[in-house]
Amino acid sequence: MSSKKPPKMPKTAKKYDAKKLSGSNKQETLTYVLGGVAIVAIIALIVIFVVIPGSDKTKSSEYQAIEGQGITLTADNTVFVGDEDAPVTLEVFEDFICPACGQFENQYGGSINEAVSAGDVAVEYHTLNFLNQSSTSGDYSSRAAGALMCVAEQGDAVVFSDFHAEMFAPGTQPPQGSDMSDDEIAAVADEVGADDSVITCIEDGEMIDRAEQGAESSTAYLGEQAGQVGTPAVLVDGEPVEIGNPNWLDKARADGDE
């Protein structure tokens, strides 16, 4: 089991005040939901807040990277990490500029990674982009998702999980209404040990088209399975998991042992 902690932010990347990420209520995590989802033609974007109790926005879980497991960039433009024969596969839906996703990662990311390393669960990451318009560039969610795919192609689960954690970390994740450039995202990847080819992939936006295709199909899938599109969200066997229950991951692991 690794005790590795998230790397420090590179000097070339922007720093943000963690207080801006926490909003006005410091005892609750928010889930961003795309309401009124007609998947074929989404007419209106409605962001509402769903309370996830029991979290502390300023306190991260003890972090450790995923070790001893494989990683695959799938044909469906998702990222699969873990043992293909794991008894449970978590389907995690997130948007890189979603504050609630940052809070979810900081609270549960270390525990999820530990479960993946142990072979108890595998994770399929679906990166959505319905909050693109909340960034100054108008496409940050897509660019960050493309960067994650670039990192996944390196095939190193440690580097991938470190990058994923750092992109959501307070001080790295930009608040809504802000942004990071491709060069700044690449600097995060470089800091966690990504190969030069990965850095070039991020700087050149090589995976953005695939990220947008993946976001479109994953948005449709989540809407069909859960009845709404919101981040963060977790499905197991196509069924929504109540992540408001702080013991949701323990329950998923226990169900996999049955």
Helix-strand-coil split of the chain, %, nearest 5: 40, 15, 45
Specify the pairing of strand 121-127 against strand 88-94.
parallel
The radius of gyration computed from the CA coordinates of the chain, to the nearest angstrom, equals 17
CA distance 96 to 98: 6
Lowest mean pLDDT among 23-32, 179-188, 192-201: 23-32
Q: Report the run of H or E that residue 200 belongs to, with start and end.
A: helix 196-203
pLDDT for position 34:
56
* Predicted pLDDT at 258: 62
Amino acid at 138: G
Read off φ and ψ for residue 52, nearest 5 degrees: -115, 105
Decide if pLDDT at 153 tops 70: yes
Q: Which helix (H) or strand (E) holds 236?
A: strand 233-236
The SS3 assignment for 122 reads strand
Return the CATH number of 30-252, one of 3.30.365.10, 3.40.30.10, 2.60.40.1120, 3.40.50.20.
3.40.30.10
Residue 60 has pLDDT above 90, yes or no: no
Rounded Cα distance between 132 and 137, Å, is 8
* pLDDT at residue 242 tops 60: yes
> Which residues, including other chains, have CB under 8 Å from residue 51's CB and lie 6 or more apart?
28, 29, 30, 244
- Considering the chain, what percentage of its residues have pLDDT values greater than 70? 75
The amino acid at residue 37 is V
Question: Is a pLDDT exceeding 90 seen at residue 21?
Answer: no
Which residues is 124 bridged to in the sheet? 80, 91
The answer to whether 73 touches 149, Cβ cutoff 8 Å, is: yes
Most confident range, picked from 41-50, 54-63, 74-83 = 74-83
pLDDT (average), residues 209-218:
98
Per-residue confidence (pLDDT) for residue 229, from 0 to 100 = 93
Q: Region 160-181: what's the mean pLDDT? A: 96
> In the predicted model, what is the mean pLDDT of residues 108-114?
96
pTM of the model as a whole = 0.80
pLDDT in the model for residue 62: 75
Q: Is the pLDDT of residue 32 over 50?
A: yes
Contact 148, 139 (CB under 8 A): no
In the chain, where the domains are located: 30-252
Q: What is the pLDDT of residue 255?
A: 83
**164 three-state secondary structure:** helix
pLDDT of residue 51: 35
pLDDT at 155 > cutoff 50? yes
Assess whether pLDDT exceeds 60 at residue 80: yes
Over residues 204-218, the mean pLDDT reads 98
Work out the average pLDDT over 27-34. Answer: 47
SS3 33: strand
> Which of 140, 112, 110, 111 is closest to 128 using CA atoms?
140
Give yes or no for a contact between 152 and 71, defined as CB atoms under 8 angstroms apart: yes
